[in-house]
Amino acid sequence: MAVTTTTDTVVADPAPAATRAGFRFLRGGKTRAGLLILAFFVVLAVAGPWLAPYDPDAMSDQLLRPPSAGHWLGTTQTGQDVLSQILVGTRGVLVVGFLAGVLATALSVLIGVSAGFLGGAADEVLSMLSNIFLVIPGLPLIIIIASFVEDTGDLLIAAVIALTSWAWGARVLRAQTLSLRRRDYVEAARATGESTWRIILFEVMPNLTAVIASGFVGTVIFAILSEITLAFIGVADISHWNWGTVLFWAQSNQALAQGAWWWFVPAGLCIALLGTALSLINFGIDEFVNPRLRTAPGASRTVRMRVGFTPVARTGGQDRPEPPAFTPVARTGAPTAPGEPGKEHQA
């Protein structure tokens, strides 16, 4: 009689594990907090001009009024609504920051990875180009360009910031690529006949993702602060609203001396919150890349000392314990019954 047995083979679906690994970056509290704050400002940048209750350039007879029901963040010296200026100016800040970050990151990846992987004369030429741009001061160059160009819009400022801020990231990526170009899996890819661009895209670049992301976030922070600084010192177009323009007009009209705190405090808080959000995202990237920096959710930072059970031999010193009051006896032979004298007593 033939017996037929059926064996069910269970194949684990790798999709859930890959999905969990992909969302591991979002598990950190710092990352989620940073992304939530950043998402709030992105919503303001997209819908700010429609959410603004007034025209940011419109003047009124409500001169230098504190926050009220009609003007939630008060008015300026000419009766302009501060909330409308901040809502409308959010878009320009984020556009310059992220556009400069994308352009600078693309240049740093193209030049840094190419120099590190190709080596030889290409590495020498590209490294010399990186060193030249590395010593060019970005902010003074932007001030000079802005003084010669009549219309210094967001696109021009973002382009200049990107051209002067990609060199540092390129140097970091070149060093990381040099450490990866001779790894076993890269040599195996060469041995199988894969092309150079395919090795760079599919073998080297995935291992540089965290470094590229961290450099992108740092460039965005630098670009946002540079644009606000240019507007605050009056180099950029002051007729174009952003948070730096609000601070420029507040400083020009001596808002602090007049006690009009509502004119400059909201813009300063927005700058601090956006910088904090981007910094938290950067910290989350560092913890995702380096497991030693990860902290368990809800873990206490208090160091708990536990008394161990391992005996410690103390030698010398004043804290040496007193010797026992009895003489230890080595027992040789079978154990005796309770109440029966041992051999040492019999002897």
Query: Could you report the per-residue pLDDT of 235-290, keeping only the tens digit for each?
Result: 777 778 999 999 999 999 989 999 999 999 999 999 999 999 999 998 888 777 76
pLDDT score for 230: 86
pLDDT score for 157: 85
121 confidence band (pLDDT: 50, 70, 90): very high
Q: Which positions ≥6 away from 98 have C-beta within 8 Å?
A: 220
Three-state SS at 31: helix
Helix axes 265-289, 29-51, angle to 10 degrees: 140
Tokens for 248?
């420029």
Q: Which of 228, 212, 217 is nearest to 139 (CA)?
A: 228
Q: Which positions ≥6 away from 189 have C-beta within 8 Å?
A: 198, 199, 203
Report the sign of the C-alpha dihedral through residues 150, 98, 51, 87, in that order. negative
As a whole number, mean pLDDT of residues 313-334 equals: 51
Contact 130, 174 (CB under 8 A): yes
CATH fit for domain 81-293, picks 1.10.3720.10, 3.30.360.10, 1.10.10.60, 3.30.1370.60: 1.10.3720.10
Res. 310: pLDDT tops 60: no
Q: Indicate the average pLDDT of the chain.
A: 80
| H or E segment and range at residue 343 | helix 343-346
Q: Which positions ≥6 away from 322 have C-beta within 8 Å?
A: none
Rg over alpha carbons for the chain, rounded to the nearest Å, is: 33
| H or E segment and range at residue 319 | none
Q: Backbone phi, then psi, for 75, in 5-degree steps?
A: -130, 165
Question: Could you tell me the residue ranges of all domains in the chain?
Answer: 81-293
pLDDT score for 304: 47
Residue with tokens 């320009």: 92
Out of 5-19, 84-98, 214-228, which region has the weakest mean confidence (pLDDT)? Answer: 5-19
Q: What is the pTM of this model?
A: 0.75
With pLDDT > 90 as the criterion, what percentage of the chain qualifies?
41
Contact 84, 54 (CB under 8 A): yes
Alpha-carbon gap, residue 223 to 217, rounded angstroms: 10
Residue 336: DSSP 8-state? P
